[in-house]
Amino acid sequence: MVRSGYAAVSSRRVAASVGINAPLLHYYFPTIDDLFVAVMRRRANQYVERMAAALASPEPLRAWWELASDAGGAGLFVEAIAAANHRPALRIEVGKVARDLRQLQMQTLTSLLDEYGLDPDEFPPALVAAALQGLAFGLVSDQMAGYETAHAEAAAGMAKLIARLEQQRARRLSARGRIPARRTSARP
């Protein structure tokens, strides 16, 4: 899906790429939609785990941004969302994943916004979550499509904003007697 787009996925191509014949693939996945849903579920579970780890990391916004804006990891979701526009079963699955991720993000932000010095009445968790995740998705989409939409400049600007917020959070936690743990890796 990522290499050639969802429209290029066929049971014959999938079977050939994994070294089996198409009837065997159809034994496990009667339709290509069944295969799409299975792939989405598997990757979504992995992504939700990675998102939870990012949000629990010493620098949650930075880890979240790095995960969400990684074209390698988010590329499948870009294609899955495009395919979901034409495949009802996949649309339902993508909707579940989006809802679960947003709930996780908003729950975490509810307790974190104060640490960043952000007033949740002025910057509600839903706004922060939609802005961060939406910008990352838009940048990855444009990058994958090869559009020159100044995505590098937008990503650099977001990285600066997040660095400022993470520094502010570290100062606030330090002032409260809570020292944030140091990051040991760029990825959760």
pLDDT for 181 equals: 52
d(CA 25, CA 16): 10
List CB contacts of 5: < 8 A, sequence separation 6 or more: 79, 82
DSSP codes, 17-61 = HHTS-HHHHHHH-SSHHHHHHHHHHHHHHHHHHHHHHHHTSSSHH
Q: Which helix (H) or strand (E) holds 150?
A: none
Token pair for 126: 């839903």
pLDDT for 183 equals: 40
d(CA 98, CA 94): 6
pLDDT for 185 equals: 40
From first to last of its 188 residues, what are the pLDDT tens digits of the chain? Answer: 777 778 888 888 999 988 999 999 999 999 999 999 998 899 889 999 999 999 999 999 999 999 999 987 777 788 888 899 999 999 999 999 999 999 999 999 999 999 999 999 999 999 999 999 999 999 988 888 889 999 899 999 999 999 999 999 999 999 998 766 544 444 33
The structure's pTM equals 0.84
Reported CATH class of domain 33-175: mainly alpha
- Domain ranges across the chain: 33-175
